[in-house]
């Protein structure tokens, strides 16, 4: 089923959106416009989004949110409706306190007959709802909500997929009371819910698998909190550095296994170096920019389609992301998908509408990095 998101703006009853106000001219004096007046002049909010999110209230089990509406009323009052996966509907009331072209801040005041406090942030882009997030209290209990629309081609990177890293190499596994054993192969699997498995193959052919939870992920490393190994208890962190083509560069871990100290030190075989960056052919189009974390990108076009993104950052190994066409978004702009080092999902939106050329732009989003606007030449 294709998931859609809608943002509808209707004019106020007394007129359309007002962008310029005529005020009596007072020589030598400026007349500021109160913020409440500015809010009143904007179109009403009437947002609808279908997707998936999590609602947490106190010690109750977290609930899944599948549908959200945000509607403004006179005097900057706002009603938020949350449809839960079990079919129940929650209605919250709030006050619109600030608003820009892409974001609105709402102060919670009540939830049905219950008192509520806190701040909600509603994000929208290009006439499409993106997310609803915030925290506060409900009848004195901690409250948090994080909801994102199901259409991931606009305004946010794709939903994380399973991450699988594998690598042959050399290493050592040590367990107190036993002789150290050599490691010849290692793998790491992380599920979308951050549950993870670390597996090592010993030189004698036996495998040792650890289960745990991913606690941190960047474009270069993953940190796991190990919790078990088969039927045995395990405790300790595991730091995994990874590179291109799902390769593992190093694994470093130490902790306890059924109460006995253990350690893992592993180095993967040297990955093949990336091919050098070549200048584009005459007349070719490239789009360049930089993410907030310092990674510079260069998106390349062939036959009016984006084919790859080349990444560079000082002190880091260059890498290449291959792109595949996904679909056109609601604005008719082609959306491409790919991954950074086969572990971090990314998306490229061709803002030219399918005709990339010098002077047009792209929007590139990487999971956990955010979005960047690139210029084509």
pLDDT tens digit string along 146-192? Answer: 888 754 444 445 555 688 888 999 999 999 988 999 999 999 999 98
Q: So what's the pLDDT on residue 204?
A: 86
Q: Per-10-residue mean pLDDT for the chain, 377 residues long?
A: 36 35 41 45 71 85 84 87 84 91 90 89 75 89 84 48 86 92 93 92 91 88 93 93 86 93 88 46 79 93 90 90 86 87 86 90 88 92
Task: Identify the architecture of domain 163-268 in CATH.
Answer: Beta Barrel (2.40)
In 3D space, the residue among 324, 329, 362, 330 whose CA is nearest the CA of residue 345 turns out to be 324
- Bridge partners of 80, per DSSP, are 70, 92
Q: Which residue has the tokens 């997310």?
A: 131
d(Cα 138, Cα 113) in Å, to the nearest integer? 10
Helix or strand run (H / E) with residue 310: strand 305-312
Q: Write down the H helix ranges in the chain.
A: 35-41
Check: CB of residue 230 under 8 Å from CB of residue 248: no
Q: What is the 3-state secondary structure (H, E, C) of 64-91?
A: EEEEEEEEECHHHEEEEEEEECCCCEEE
CA distance 161 to 348: 17
What is the spatial distance between Cα 203 and Cα 233, in angstroms, rounded to a whole number? 24
Please report the pLDDT score of residue 5 as a whole number: 37
CA–CA gap between residue 158 and residue 140 (Å, rounded): 35
Predicted pLDDT of residue 145: 92
Q: What pTM does this model have?
A: 0.41
User: According to the model, what pLDDT value does residue 58 have?
Assistant: 87
Q: What angle do CA 264, 265, 268 make, to 5 degrees?
A: 125
């Amino acid at each position: 089923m294709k998931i859609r998101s809608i943002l509808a703006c209707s004019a106020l009853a007394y007129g359309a959106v007002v962008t310029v106000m005529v005020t009596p001219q007072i020589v030598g004096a400026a007349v500021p416009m109160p913020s409440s007046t500015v809010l009143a002049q904007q179109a009403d909010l009437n947002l609808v989004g279908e997707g998936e999110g999590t609602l947490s209230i106190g010690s109750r089990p977290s609930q899944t949110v599948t549908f959200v509406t945000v509607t403004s009323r006179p005097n900057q009052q706002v009603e938020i409706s949350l449809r839960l996966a079990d079919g129940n509907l929650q209605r919250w009331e709030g006050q619109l306190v600030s608003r820009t072209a892409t974001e609105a801040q709402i102060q919670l005041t009540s939830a049905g007959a219950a008192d509520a406090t806190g701040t909600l942030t509603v994000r929208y882009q290009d006439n499409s709802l993106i997310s609803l997030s915030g925290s506060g209290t409900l009848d004195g209990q901690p409250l948090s909500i994080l909801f994102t629309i199901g259409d991931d081609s606009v305004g946010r990177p794709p939903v994380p997929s399973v991450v699988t890293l594998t690598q042959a190499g050399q290493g050592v596994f040590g367990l107190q009371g036993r002789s150290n054993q050599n490691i010849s192969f290692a793998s790491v699997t992380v599920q979308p819910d951050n549950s993870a498995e670390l597996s090592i193959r010993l030189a004698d052919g036996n495998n040792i698998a650890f289960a745990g939870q991913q606690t941190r992920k960047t474009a270069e490393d993953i940190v796991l909190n190990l919790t078990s190994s088969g039927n045995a208890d395990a405790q300790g962190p595991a730091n995994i550095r990874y590179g291109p083509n799902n390769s593992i560069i190093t694994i470093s871990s130490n902790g306890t296994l059924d109460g006995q100290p253990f350690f893992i030190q592993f180095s993967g075989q040297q990955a093949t170096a990336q091919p050098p960056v070549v200048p584009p052919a005459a007349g070719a189009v490239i789009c360049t920019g930089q993410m907030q974390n310092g990674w510079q990108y260069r998106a390349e076009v062939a036959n009016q389609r984006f084919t790859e993104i080349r990444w560079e950052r000082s002190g880091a190994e260059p890498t290449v992301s291959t792109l595949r066409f996904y679909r056109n978004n609601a604005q008719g702009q082609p959306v491409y998908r790919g991954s950074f080092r086969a572990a971090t999902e990314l998306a490229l939106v061709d803002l030219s509408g399918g005709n990339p050329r010098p002077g047009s732009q792209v929007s590139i989003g990487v999971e956990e990095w955010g979005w960047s606007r690139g210029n084509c030449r």
